[in-house]
Structure 1
Amino acid sequence: MHMEALASALDSAYVFVAAILVISMQAGFALLEAGSTRMKNAGHVAGKQIISFAITGIFFWVAGFAITFGDGNGFVGLKGWMLHLGGAEADQVFSSLSWAHVPLDLKFLFQMAFAAVSLAIAWGGFAERAKLSVYFVFGILFTVAIYPVIGHWVWGGGWLAKMGMQDFAGSTVVHLQGAVAALIATLLLGPRIGKFTRDGKPNLIPGHNQVYSVLGVIILWVGWFGFNAGSTMAIGDGFFSYVALTTNLATAAGAIAAMLIAWFVLGKADIPSMLNGVLAALVAITAACAFVEPWAAVVIGAIAGIITFFTSLYFERKGVDDPVFAFSVHGIAGIWGTISTGFFASPRLVEKVGVGQAGLFYGGGWHQLYVQVVGALGAMLYVAAVSFAILYLLKVTMGLRVTPEEEITGLDLSEHGVYGYPEHLDPAENPAFTSETVSAKAAGHAYERTI
């Protein structure tokens, strides 16, 4: 009994550290997205990460965790609202998590951090033109009506879990969900002012701080070890270290592949393309990290980096203004990562994890690939339908988008009243600017110099 208690304590400490790493990814998203957007929106874009995490912290506790992991039917969990339970009773209500020998409160903290990441991804599609009020309403509904449903299907004992879907840490549950919601928001909001010419050709709207973007990606890369390796929720057998290995190999391959393909196609070693390659590889290996051999992790990561580069260009040319390329990075790579286990899942690792079957390249036949495709398609259809219903209703009632004047002024001022870089507003040049008020006309003139 003493050894069991010690093992549980060590696992709990490990999961707590992993949860902190996943939570730290919010800082990564703040830097990445603020650096990848314009100066006039930097404070707003960074600040919404706090709002995202706060909304998830409350509403995943109220209902999201119960719907995801509570015992219920094949579609939703129906027990465990607000974590009223503890001890042995918790394992009876949250039987889908009973394999992890850590306290229920810690299981919640870890999984809440995952839900917050998914919402942060979704909000990427709203960037630089959505009302702050829309973030609140959609964030709450995403946390209780979208994310937990797919989570239950895959991780909570739902119908995809019964089919044996392999998604170890959330290529579909976390990333594909957030990406599809981001795409729907992007389409309903429409492109940013000035993004496309009258004949539909895209204009470059570069981010204002590439160093911020790089630092954000480094933070995300480190935080992802909590995301993937932490999903073992145990340290006793050392399997977490293997998951960390495959995660890092895939990520390194994605960075190199994306940089090289951008260099070849564009003639320049494009840094944003490299950063997208890093993130795409991380997204792709998230599902497969516990199921594939190291060589396969390298292949999965490299392919993710390459396809994300080309799909980013494709969607932009088709008139989709996705400011942080959320759908290409988290959606396309999420699909690839999800179906990749259908090809590469190793028999020895499938036996170790105890989910699904070996992949096609190991003589496992087409079954696992079929399951993975069904899972990805099912998730996409549900998230797209519910996101569209919510956002369309918001569009025709409260409206999704700020006014053109507010968009030109920038959301730092129009939504928060404070510019993220106040020294760039010169009162001598703009007499209407004081510490209390900024006229839209003066602010718009000042921002023309800073875009």
Structure 2
Amino acid sequence: MSELTELSYALDTFYFLICGILVMWMAAGFSMLEAGLVRSKNTAEILIKNVALFAIACTMYLLMGYYIMYSSPEGGILPNLGFLLGAENSADAVLSGGDDAPYYSMRADYFFQVVFVATAMSIVSGAVAERMKLWAFLAFAVVMTAVIYPVSGFWTWGGGWLDAAGFSDFAGSGIVHMAGAAAALAGVLILGPRKGKYGKDGSIYAIPGANLPLATLGTLILWMGWFGFNGGSELKVSDIGSANNVAQVLVNTNAAAAGGVIAALILAKLWFRKADLTMTLNGALAGLVAITAEPLAPSALSAALIGAVGGVIVVVAIVSLDKLKIDDPVGAIAVHGVVGIWGLLAVPLTNGDATFGAQLLGIAGIFAWVFIASLIVWVILKAVMGIRVSEEEEYEGVDLAECGMEAYPEFSVAKK
């Protein structure tokens, strides 16, 4: 029996780590997506933001975020403050703990959770692109990954008051995606739109991205990484029931993404008379965000329909936010925020243990905390160091202003 327990522990730990690697690969997806949807003069800066925010998230979550999220009082609101990860599971605890014994490594749990933190922060990166100072963004990343995300994470996955109230979010439509969008929205409101995006008469001017093949690659990388995102959230694969659940989660995740693509593509054709690539790409991401709150309970067909509704919502949300002069170069607030809310509200449609009341409470609690806390941090950063580059730097591109190099330097001339 002990050999079987050891084998199960090893298998579940290995599965958790592999899923974490898949989610880490989503950092490449966000990098490529955002690099494709910004102008060429801002590409190097958006790339360095994505690499640096991942490093900051890993470090700050290691130092204090993980402790806040998982070492705080059950059912509580205020978290405990502490540092580092704590002791690893001992062999005795695994072999003699009975039904309550840990079934995967604590270090594997940290690794899987930290890539989720980085995902939430990546959502902010695209929304504030092309006009935010690099070091102001990185300073915000420190606070977001060390405190803001871990507190709402404690309320939910860490066993806090929202978990006690019955809030359900399987893999993070709200805990990760809506939280990232709330932080992004606060930043965008303080930052303001890009120059030339909106006319004085209310006109809206499109600012096309520089590299749509790169954006498409990024979307497909994210689609692939999402199998680890949702599949790993089953937490276990070493028994028949768990293995079947993982398979259902992956099938539903894929079905929802496909449904989002088809719905967004059809709506774009009907509305704009053209097959809009950027809307189609965001349709895929919307389907993925929508199913993330509950990828296990629905049938595959239901998952496709949930994703399709997300694909419709994201097109409407992107256009609506533009009319409100909320400038988001990559559509992150619509994809992760508006559709994240839909994903949470869709949970009771297929999961009989979830209630609309608990879901609404979770939406309000997470959004209010992350938005208000982020707004305060953005305001402080604006007062202390400024958060927006100058008009001249924005015109020339933040690549030169912030990085001193260009991502596409074909037209640079060497001085003799």
Q: Shorter-chain TM-score: which interval?
A: over 0.9
Match of 2:188?
Answer: 186
Kept in 2: contact 1:258–1:277 (CA 8 A): yes
Letter in 2 for 1:372: Q
Kept in 2: contact 1:66–1:77 (CA 8 A): no
Match of 2:225?
Answer: 223
Q: How does 1:189-208 map to 2 (within 5 A)?
A: 189-208=191-210
- Report the TM-score when normalising by structure 2: 0.94
Distance apart, 1:166 and its partner CA = 1.1
Distance apart, 1:288 and its partner CA = 1.2
Residue from 118, 125, 128 that aligns with 1:126 = 128
Distance apart, 1:414 and its partner CA = 0.6
Match of 1:82?
Answer: 84
| 120-129 vs 52-61, greater mean Cα deviation | 120-129
Letter in 2 for 1:389: I
Match of 2:337?
Answer: 331
Q: Structure 1 residues 211, 150: CA separation in 2 closer, same or farther (over 3 Å shift)?
A: same
User: For each residue in 1:391-428, what CA deviation from the matched residue of structure 2 results, as whole angstroms up to 9, or x when unmatched?
Assistant: 0111122111011111111111110101111112345x
User: For each residue in 1:68-95, what CA deviation from the matched residue of structure 2 results, as whole angstroms up to 9, or x when unmatched?
Assistant: 1113251244266211322259989xxx
| 65-74 vs 382-391, greater mean Cα deviation | 65-74
Q: Structure 1 residues 411, 114: CA separation in 2 closer, same or farther (over 3 Å shift)?
A: same
User: For each residue in 1:9-61, what CA deviation from the matched residue of structure 2 results, as whole angstroms up to 9, or x when unmatched?
Assistant: 11111111101000000000000000000000111112211101000110000
For structure 1, list consecutive stretches of 5 or more residues without a partner in the other structure. 93-97, 348-356, 359-367, 428-433, 436-451
Letter in 2 for 1:215: L
Residue from 370, 388, 391 that aligns with 2:375 = 388
Distance 2:127 2:91 in 1: 40
Distance 1:271 1:208 in 2: 13
Whether 1:322 aligns to 2:323 is no
Q: Structure 1 residues 25, 8: CA separation in 2 closer, same or farther (over 3 Å shift)?
A: same
Letter in 2 for 1:72: P
Whether 1:254 aligns to 2:241 is no
> Any idea what SS the aligned residue of 1:331 has?
helix
Distance 2:134 2:17 in 1: 32
User: For each residue in 1:241-271, what CA deviation from the matched residue of structure 2 results, as whole angstroms up to 9, or x when unmatched?
Assistant: 1110111111100000000000010000101
Kept in 1: contact 2:57–2:146 (CA 8 A): no
Kept in 2: contact 1:343–1:369 (CA 8 A): no
Percent identity between matched residues is 39
User: For each residue in 1:277-324, what CA deviation from the matched residue of structure 2 results, as whole angstroms up to 9, or x when unmatched?
Assistant: 000111111011023222221121000000110110011011111111
Q: How does 1:46-445 map to 2 (within 5 A)?
A: 46-73=47-74, 74-78=76-80, 81-87=83-89, 101-236=103-238, 237=240, 238=243, 239-345=245-351, 347=352, 357=353, 368-426=355-413, 434=415
Kept in 1: contact 2:19–2:232 (CA 8 A): yes
Distance apart, 1:342 and its partner CA = 2.1
How many residue pairs end up in the alignment?
405
Distance 2:42 2:102 in 1: 42
> Any idea what SS the aligned residue of 1:242 has?
helix
User: For each residue in 1:104-125, what CA deviation from the matched residue of structure 2 results, as whole angstroms up to 9, or x when unmatched?
Assistant: 1111010000000001112222
Distance 1:89 1:171 in 2: 35
Q: Structure 1 residues 284, 408: CA separation in 2 closer, same or farther (over 3 Å shift)?
A: same
Over the aligned positions, Cα root-mean-square deviation in angstroms equals 1.8
Kept in 1: contact 2:256–2:288 (CA 8 A): yes
> Any idea what SS the aligned residue of 1:225 has?
helix
Q: Structure 1 residues 185, 311: CA separation in 2 closer, same or farther (over 3 Å shift)?
A: same
Distance 2:110 2:383 in 1: 35
Bigger relative contact order, structure 1 or 2 (CA pairs below 8 A, ≥6 apart): 2
Distance 1:308 1:269 in 2: 15
Kept in 2: contact 1:67–1:76 (CA 8 A): no
Distance apart, 1:376 and its partner CA = 0.6
Distance 2:91 2:73 in 1: 15
Q: Structure 1 residues 169, 152: CA separation in 2 closer, same or farther (over 3 Å shift)?
A: same
Match of 2:43?
Answer: 42
Letter in 2 for 1:199: D
